[in-house]
């Protein structure tokens, strides 16, 4: 029993945050829907305190909006917000790639190739969740290797705003981004061609702004 330690409060807060964020991004909690800390705490098996902390973070990140003593609800998908988020996320990925490419080892390249194989398989099977997870895993390699914590934090903060729209469009019959562009990116990384890797990264992320404009 000595090995069992209390779960840190921060972990409960993060658990609540991730669960609620993922439900919003997936559309399980729809735009405009009211959320209540007591109800979600019961569903998550947590106390209300970490759920309230998660609410505060989600308000700051633009997924929830709150009026004290009145309501907390899921924000609508605002085109300008998604477009701005896409521009910021794309720029941070370009920055990460610029730093990461000279530091990549063969195992990093292999991890990216495996992730892209899962991405392509998920796209073929219509598995939106699987495609987005694999997409994140591929790009996360470059973000981690870059070592830029500010870029990583910015990407983590604004990507959920983009994913909400991506998921809805995929559900309406849209297509995931091409695995072919990922292949080009991985090849550029393997060749230690930073300029080409940055160019392809821009090409990968730029259409997300167009997706917002067409909404």
Residues 87 and 50 in one domain: no
Model-level pTM greater than 0.85? no
Average of per-residue pLDDT across 113-129: 91
Last residue of a domain, one of 30, 47, 74: 74
Domain count for the chain: 2
Q: Which domain holds residue 165?
A: 79-213
Res 171 pLDDT > 60? no
What's the chain's length in residues? 215
pLDDT surpasses 70 at 175: no
pLDDT of the residue at 172: 52
- Do 63 and 96 belong to one domain? no
Question: Domain check: are 185 and 89 in the same one?
Answer: yes
What is the per-residue pLDDT across 127-167, written as a single tens digit (0 to 9) for each? 888 888 999 999 999 999 999 999 999 999 999 988 888 78
* Cβ contacts of 134 within 8 Å, gap of 6 or more: 115, 116, 118, 119, 122
Whether residue 57 sits in one domain with residue 20: yes
Q: Are 120 and 176 in contact (CB under 8 A)?
A: no
In the structure, what pLDDT confidence band is assigned to residue 126 with cuts at 50, 70 and 90?
A: confident
In a domain, 3, yes or no: no
């Amino acid at each position: 029993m000595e090995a069992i330690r209390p779960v840190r409060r921060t972990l409960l807060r993060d658990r609540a945050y991730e669960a609620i964020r993922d439900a919003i991004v997936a559309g399980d909690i729809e735009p405009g829907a009211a959320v209540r800390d007591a109800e979600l705490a019961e569903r998550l098996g947590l106390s209300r305190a970490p759920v309230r902390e998660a609410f505060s973070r989600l308000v700051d990140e633009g997924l929830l909006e709150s009026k004290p003593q009145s309501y907390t609800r899921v924000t609508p998908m605002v085109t300008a917000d998604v477009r701005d988020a896409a521009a910021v996320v794309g720029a941070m990925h370009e920055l990460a790639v610029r730093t990461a490419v000279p530091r990549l080892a063969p195992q990093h390249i292999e991890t990216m190739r495996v992730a892209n194989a899962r991405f392509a398989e998920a796209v073929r099977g219509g598995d939106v969740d699987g495609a987005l997870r694999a997409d994140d895993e591929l790009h996360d390699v470059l973000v981690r290797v870059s070592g830029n914590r500010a870029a990583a934090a910015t990407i983590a903060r604004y990507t959920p705003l983009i994913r909400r729209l991506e998921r809805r469009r995929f559900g309406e019959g849209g297509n995931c981004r091409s695995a072919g562009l990922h292949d080009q990116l991985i090849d550029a990384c393997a060749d230690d061609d930073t300029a080409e890797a940055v160019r392809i990264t821009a090409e990968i992320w730029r259409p997300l702004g167009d997706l917002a404009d067409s909404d």
